[in-house]
A and B are shown apart, each in its own frame.
Chain A
């Protein structure tokens, strides 16, 4: 039954298991934590390596000798302008304050998504499962389309862009400087198991904007009584301080950290319970309430607290989520660190519902149809857009300035090697 027990597969299995346990790229020849391979924690999750045989070449680092002879930070800008003998990186990026985006998140941040076409028999065809190998080797996450670090065009034809693409548009020197350090089931409690996969050299790299967005698993679990397992405000305080101390010892000076609050998840039951699940659309025989109940019975409901017919439990879960958000707010207001400034932002799902209403949408259209739990791609991009607008308004220094050389960078380097 365990295919990995076959001798000829043992080695590759060991490597894949290591990659999954540590959230590090499976294929990383020079071990600099950046990869030329898309899945298995490759460039779908963090900027693509432009030289996987040199560990000193990777996205986000300060240029080596102004990249006169090679692109040491993979932003596609290198070489010397023949007109004046000045290296392009010096000419276009010096003083522009480049910075990277790093997400510390959970399945929502990694954009967990099971395509409904895998379950709807009436629409099924040979093409329905073409993305299954990619999904499997990316743990059913689609970070390349996520609200924080997505670099692919939205599959929903949405204009809004990810936070990374906003940053790249603001300063083309930020090209490829993104890291999605997220994991399905990620919470303040288990972040310490995979935060080591964050890559930033305090001396050699540019500053980073780190978004801490553990938005559910501290109050979500599959237990029959989920409350005892929920993280308490005291535990959260301790866990987050541990994370922030780790960041202070790794992030370059001049970085920024934004703590994201938790949502009020009662929204899920209220907008989905009596709607048909994709499995129930053909015969009108399976609602989300039944799916939630089935998952709870099996004790694998991703969030029994909110995905439950028990109103009292839903309210309790939201109260705890609010207490944890208040704790994050308190940390941001009272704790100081050497290498970064610290901010707090509410998880304003209500605001993006209003925005979606304004566009003629329905709230249930903002939730992943198969799991009935995660924000879908549209919701992620609306959240990213709202995040960008709020930060631009309240803390413009976090985003850096518009680079006046963007158009010249595009003129000389085009798409800068793409992603």
Chain B
């Protein structure tokens, strides 16, 4: 369950970042900064946000700038996983072939990612 909740949380946050970029006609980086600035300092919420941006921000920027949607970003960063024999879960509708094409591309993007290497490690 917790990994499913991580997936839902990731897709919601990526959707908000994508929409902030759209609404304010700004960069992905500016939208992430804006979102963190909206959070209260209590319970380390703002700090945690900036920490997550520091860890995942560069990958998120590359993926969203490559026209990936929230589902794909979260699958590429492995917040969403497809269990063996289970369907791929996504919120936004996308034709399968486009999904597969984009997924290959997103994997290529994060392949060089320091963060993903680190997270894959022990």
A290 to B, closest residue via Cβ: B91
A295 engages B40 (CB within 8 Å): no
B38 engages A124 (CB within 8 Å): yes
A279 engages B90 (CB within 8 Å): no
- Given the interface pairs A295-B8, A300-B1, the reply to whether A121 lies near B92 with Cβ below 8 Å is no
CB-defined contacts of A130 to chain B, threshold 8 Å: 40
CB-defined contacts of B11 to chain A, threshold 8 Å: 294
- A-B contacts, 26 listed (Cβ < 8 Å): A119-B15, A121-B16, A122-B19, A122-B23, A124-B16, A124-B35, A124-B38, A128-B38, A129-B38, A129-B39, A129-B40, A129-B45, A132-B39, A132-B45, A133-B43, A137-B43, A283-B19, A283-B22, A286-B15, A290-B93, A294-B91, A295-B8, A297-B87, A297-B89, A297-B90, A300-B1
1/0 contact string of A126-169 vs chain B (CB within 8 Å): 10111011001100000000000000000000000000000000
Within 8 A of B (CB), among A283-319: 283, 285-286, 290-291, 294-295, 297-300
**A interface residues, how many (CB within 8 angstroms):** 26
Within 8 A of A (CB), among B70-93: 86-93
Q: Does A282 contact B (CB under 8 A)?
A: yes
The secondary structure that dominates the B interface is helix
- Given the interface pairs A279-B12, A294-B91, the reply to whether A126 lies near B45 with Cβ below 8 Å is no
Q: Does A338 contact B (CB under 8 A)?
A: no
A125 to B38, CA, bound (A): 6
B5 to A, closest residue via Cβ: A300
B23 engages A133 (CB within 8 Å): no
B16 engages A119 (CB within 8 Å): yes
CB-defined contacts of A286 to chain B, threshold 8 Å: 15, 91-92
Q: Does B113 contact A (CB under 8 A)?
A: no
Within 8 A of B (CB), among A161-214: none
**Number of A-B pairs, beta carbon distance below 8 Å:** 72
A6 to B95, CA, bound (A): 45
A126 engages B19 (CB within 8 Å): no
CB-defined contacts of B38 to chain A, threshold 8 Å: 124-126, 128-129
A294 to B86, CA, bound (A): 13
B40 engages A279 (CB within 8 Å): no
CB-defined contacts of A279 to chain B, threshold 8 Å: 12, 15-16, 91
B23 engages A119 (CB within 8 Å): no
Output the least CB separation between A291 and chain B (Å). Answer: 7
A363 to B28, CA, bound (A): 38
B8 engages A298 (CB within 8 Å): yes
A215 to B29, CA, bound (A): 44
A136 to B9, CA, bound (A): 14
Query: A121's contact among B7, B20, B42, B87, by CB below 8 Å, is which?
Result: B20
Query: A124's contact among B5, B20, B45, B89, by CB below 8 Å, is which?
Result: B20
Q: Does B100 contact A (CB under 8 A)?
A: no
A370 to B, closest residue via Cβ: B12
A126 to B16, CA, bound (A): 15
A313 to B38, CA, bound (A): 41
Output the least CB separation between A112 and chain B (Å). Answer: 14
Output the least CB separation between A198 and chain B (Å). Answer: 27
B89 engages A133 (CB within 8 Å): no
B39 to A, closest residue via Cβ: A129
A291 to B92, CA, bound (A): 9
A282 to B, closest residue via Cβ: B19
Within 8 A of A (CB), among B10-46: 11-12, 15-16, 19-20, 22-23, 35, 37-40, 42-43, 45
CB-defined contacts of B16 to chain A, threshold 8 Å: 119, 121, 124, 279
CB-defined contacts of B91 to chain A, threshold 8 Å: 279, 286, 290-291, 294
A136 to B42, CA, bound (A): 11
A133 engages B40 (CB within 8 Å): yes
CB-defined contacts of B42 to chain A, threshold 8 Å: 133
Known pairs A119-B15, A279-B15, A300-B8; list 13 more (Cβ under 8 Å): A121-B19, A121-B20, A122-B23, A124-B16, A124-B35, A124-B38, A136-B43, A286-B91, A290-B91, A291-B91, A297-B86, A297-B87, A298-B7
